[in-house]
A and B are shown apart, each in its own frame.
Chain A
């Protein structure tokens, strides 16, 4: 599967709308992000070095260590498990990234499309730390740029990525629970101060 396609089905965001939602309250901006193509990449057993080298060549970045997050011009990679990463790219021009990556790494890594496995909300504002204090157990204040933590957030299995320490974070959770996660973020943002 590859190349360009021209189908006429419209997409909806995880919150069920045609365009991503933006909320601003209490000095915090919460943006629904639905323009990322995502793939999980897991190194094949016994071919870890080969798989890693090939992936790093393809992505132009070093696959991060446990708890890490890395980004190049086109791609990002978040550690999600031993020898496993979540690879991201702008969906525009990269919607089929998972399949190109799959083909490029055939036999050395297992690649699975995850674009719609997740919903994502980016939080921005000076009170971000206080918002996360009300949501999850990780030591958010100690999280630096370049880290990604999988954690329990409001009963949901989430991935939290630090984009700018103290100010900007991405939260990803299961797509079907987008409304629940959004509600949790909104109430927490409204709660602080």
Chain B
């Protein structure tokens, strides 16, 4: 448990030792460590195995761009694969494991892939596993899937909670390095609403990783003082551990805040992460820059990392991967790493600089004009091979190598809205183009300004410009703190040309210089082709450390410049996001909001199985004791309603209140049939068409007054009908005097159906209201009162075909009204019935529902063509007369009954003629609804049959090759039960 490679200093709290395990072995780190830094301090260099070749790999970077050090964190349901060790904040009890490896990290049989690397080059999938064809699915693919890939899932539900949230600000500062802190400080002091977000748990960016001074104090102290000032401002929201993941339209940004990722077991009820949507007036991207490597043979060994990352580990985390290190660089920044490491007591074997005229900037041995052309050490670097400018070779032993190929500004988010970066020859890197997402500015290293002084100054400038645009009085001239101002001297080189062996570009997807050459050779030269052919940049790191290097290799091969070769499109998210964060609280039972009916509680208490209808929960049937099969309950309910009386909760039907002097004229427009002449106190069935002439909803409209209607819609279409009516009202006939409002929720509405329904209703409706057949006939409606004065509405309409009503009371009284009807109707044998019995009874009566109004059918298909008025303008009435929609031999709704009444069939089956072969060309139509009719004692169905109304009595067949159904049926009228409708007028 010794931290043998722990140095002095650093931003660690050494009073807080943290215990953790890696692959079961116990280690100790300090508060402030990441998993990567703690492992490094403990001398662990080998962290995982690579994606394709199972090569041993270690820590390559010190931030979110990490391609290599992917681990599994935690165990059981909380197991999380593919976590970057470089950003995993250490906590006490952390349990981490290496992944994509064999029985142990050190011994992995699949490392044999590495020996067959000649066969596993880019595009090997497409070439190697072509034959025999059947082997792909059975053998090759499963084997490849097992071998490739990264961590594994627990296959258990995620026990943690995630929130979503919404924030508003004047200025969003993305990144809290020198530029970001400067911008946030100025904007905060000016009184703007500021959000400053940084993916790190310690704000300050590179200032925490350097030995530089800012404003006369240590850079990290300056950062801490600004952060503390920002915390004290009410108008500033400081968000550490928060990654901005995307720049979306109109100043909207996505952000993931890792609230409890650094806590062993997240506090229940509190989110582990929050996915924020940030609405900003302006944003300033201060995302810094990422160092890029130089590719050379075997440059992927554990111990080889980016040079500035080595420096960060030494300065911030007080550790180094080995006690003797070397640096390979093409720029001055590499020398700074050597100097800082030496200052912390690490032995620097050499600084290998490709520049012939490199100045000696540290006390370390400088080898100018040289290249690293090879390495040794299978499970951890042991030595590097250096080629001097004169061609002489030298082996230098070292346990770690820092590589610096220059810096790439983090331009990703500048490209999230079609923007393309532009090449800046001075720094040999892509910088943000002119087409930034609207409202975004860029400051500091993200813009290619690499010195601390430039970053501070530019952060201040961008913030000031934004503040003045937004109308904030500038808080006077801001004094910039003094900081380092060293020039960025470099000589571009992306891969070395000497040495043998593969040189890695994309460490995460195992793409080498050779693969890019192969892509070029096989003519996949466009950058988009290169990317897809080699998978370069397509891993979870999105090629943050590899894209530019690969472009450079391709540019060399094609003889074009890098900007001519192009750059790929950057897409959100900037860094990987846990799926749970996108789900938020809308998971499991809370996936969608559930709507409950007024009788819900009673239905639950009485054991009714519930079904989801849209978001509503409705009772399917109400089982009686002794009933063992749903059909028993449903058949009983049907027969009972047809002989006595039943009640059913139909509150879910959409209800829209339509008022105004033009209410009737308006309904005439939105319904295909006429409403102008409907008398007050009457209800009419109505059809709604889409403008295309297709039926989309049906319901009833009750006229409660000259200028007042209440209409109903189907449960599923309630919102759509209201939206379409608002469209008609606002966009088509804006000067009509008509007002609309939904009253679906306001009223509890119950169907009361059966020969004894009037008798039951007379017991609840107050005596002064006469509901006899004479004064309240079929299709009557009215406002009245029940139970001694409670306002109610009564509609004499029937879906069941029985004498029936719908009674509505304010929803708060619904549950009591339901119980009251069951009590008062006891001696009438009243029963509740569910949606299954409701459906059976409507099929028996041939009433169409959504099964028939399926979005393709017309009034003519339903046999309702006479309802579509030709004397007025209504939506859909012109196009429903189109040729093709009025063919006489088109589909018509018919009834079906089996010739052998003991046979059954289901909906969703097809129709063919008797004797015809079951092939698609013989299709005669389809069965839309089917059920067992307890009233008739056999199966019945509704179907759309070609030329159906001319085929009454004909025998056709219901077939389903999938279900092996082949039933002879007779074509009948759709009115199976009480065809003349005598019962509902009784």
Chain A residues within 8 Å of B, Cβ to Cβ: 1, 4-14, 16, 34, 40, 42, 44-47, 84, 96, 99, 110, 112-118, 133-134, 136-139, 141-142, 154-156, 174-181, 183-184, 187-188, 190-191
Contact = CB atoms under 8 A, between A and B. Distances in A.
A9 B590 contact: no
B616 A190 contact: no
Contacts of B791: 1, 5, 96, 99
Interface in B160-202: 161, 163-168
A24 to B, nearest CB: 15
Given A45-B737, A110-B708, A191-B161, 20 more contacts: A5-B789, A6-B789, A7-B787, A9-B809, A12-B814, A16-B596, A42-B659, A45-B661, A84-B741, A112-B743, A114-B746, A117-B742, A118-B745, A155-B593, A156-B593, A175-B745, A176-B596, A181-B593, A187-B161, A187-B585
Interface stretch (B32-40, B269-277, B401-409, B574-582): B269-277
A12 B659 CA distance: 29
Contact of A116 (B586, B592, B747, B790): B747
Interface in B716-751: 735-739, 741-748
9 contacts: A7-B790, A8-B787, A9-B809, A99-B791, A114-B746, A115-B746, A117-B811, A155-B592, A175-B811
B661 A116 contact: no
Nearest to B656: A112
Contact of B660 (A40, A45, A184, A187): A45
A12 B596 contact: no
A9 B813 contact: yes
A1 B274 CA distance: 52
A7 B789 contact: yes
A177 B816 contact: no
Given A7-B789, A110-B660, A45 B738 contact: yes
B585 A11 contact: no
Contacts of A137: 166, 277, 279
A138 B814 CA distance: 34
Nearest to B594: A180
Contact of A12 (B736, B737, B785, B816): B816
A96 B791 CA distance: 9
Contacts of A138: 166
Nearest to A10: B816
Contacts of A181: 593
A45 B735 contact: yes
A179 B167 contact: no
A116 B741 contact: no
Contacts of B790: 5, 7, 9
A116 B820 CA distance: 19
B270 A9 contact: no
A190 B595 CA distance: 23
A74 to B, nearest CB: 20
A30 to B, nearest CB: 15
Given A46-B737, A112-B741, A117-B746, A16 B600 contact: yes
B788 interface: yes
B760 interface: no
B815 A5 contact: no
A47 B659 CA distance: 14
Interface in B639-686: 651, 657, 659-662
Contact of A9 (B615, B746, B787): B787
A16 to B, nearest CB: 6
B165 A11 contact: no
Contacts of B277: 137
A139 B165 CA distance: 11
Contact of B810 (A8, A115, A156, A183): A115
A188 to B, nearest CB: 8
Contacts of A84: 739, 741
A116 B271 contact: no
A70 to B, nearest CB: 20
B505 interface: no
Nearest to A139: B168
Contacts of A116: 745-748, 810-812
A160 B590 CA distance: 22
B597 interface: yes
Contact of B816 (A9, A118, A174): A9
A47 B745 CA distance: 29
Nearest to A181: B593
B163 A134 contact: yes
Interface residues of B, number: 65
Interface of B, helix, strand, loop or mixed by DSSP: mixed
A12 to B, nearest CB: 5
A110 B590 contact: no
A84 B726 CA distance: 14
B661 A44 contact: yes
A44 B789 contact: no
Nearest to A155: B593
Contact of B739 (A7, A110, A178): A110
B817 interface: yes
A84 B659 CA distance: 13
B326 interface: no
Nearest to A109: B739
Nearest to B269: A190
B133 interface: no
B786 interface: yes
Contacts of B745: 116-118, 174-176
Contacts of B736: 45
A97 to B, nearest CB: 12
B146 interface: no
A116 to B, nearest CB: 4
B127 interface: no
Contacts of B279: 137, 139
Contacts of A115: 746, 810, 812
B866 interface: no
A134 B811 contact: no
A112 B656 CA distance: 10
B741 A42 contact: yes
B509 to A, nearest CB: 37
Interface string B583-611: 00110001011111100110000000000
A183 to B, nearest CB: 7
Contacts of B593: 154-156, 177, 180-181
A191 B271 contact: yes
B812 A34 contact: yes
Nearest to B657: A112
Nearest to A178: B596
Contact of A155 (B586, B811, B813): B586
A184 B816 CA distance: 28
Given A16-B600, A44-B661, A142 B595 contact: no
A99 B595 CA distance: 28
B223 to A, nearest CB: 26
A1 B615 CA distance: 34
The 6 closest A-B pairs by CB, nearest first: A5-B789, A180-B593, A110-B659, A116-B811, A42-B739, A45-B737
Contacts of A110: 657, 659-660, 707-708, 739
B595 A12 contact: no
B737 A183 contact: no
A30 B98 CA distance: 47
A4 B785 CA distance: 12
Nearest to A5: B789
A156 B922 CA distance: 48
A12 B746 contact: no
Contact of B783 (A1, A9, A188): A1
Contacts of B708: 110
B239 to A, nearest CB: 12
A188 B165 CA distance: 10
A10 B660 CA distance: 34
Contacts of B789: 4-7
A50 B376 CA distance: 91
B183 to A, nearest CB: 22
Contacts of A141: 168
Among B161, B164, B746, B788, chain A packs the most CB atoms within 10 A around the CB of B746
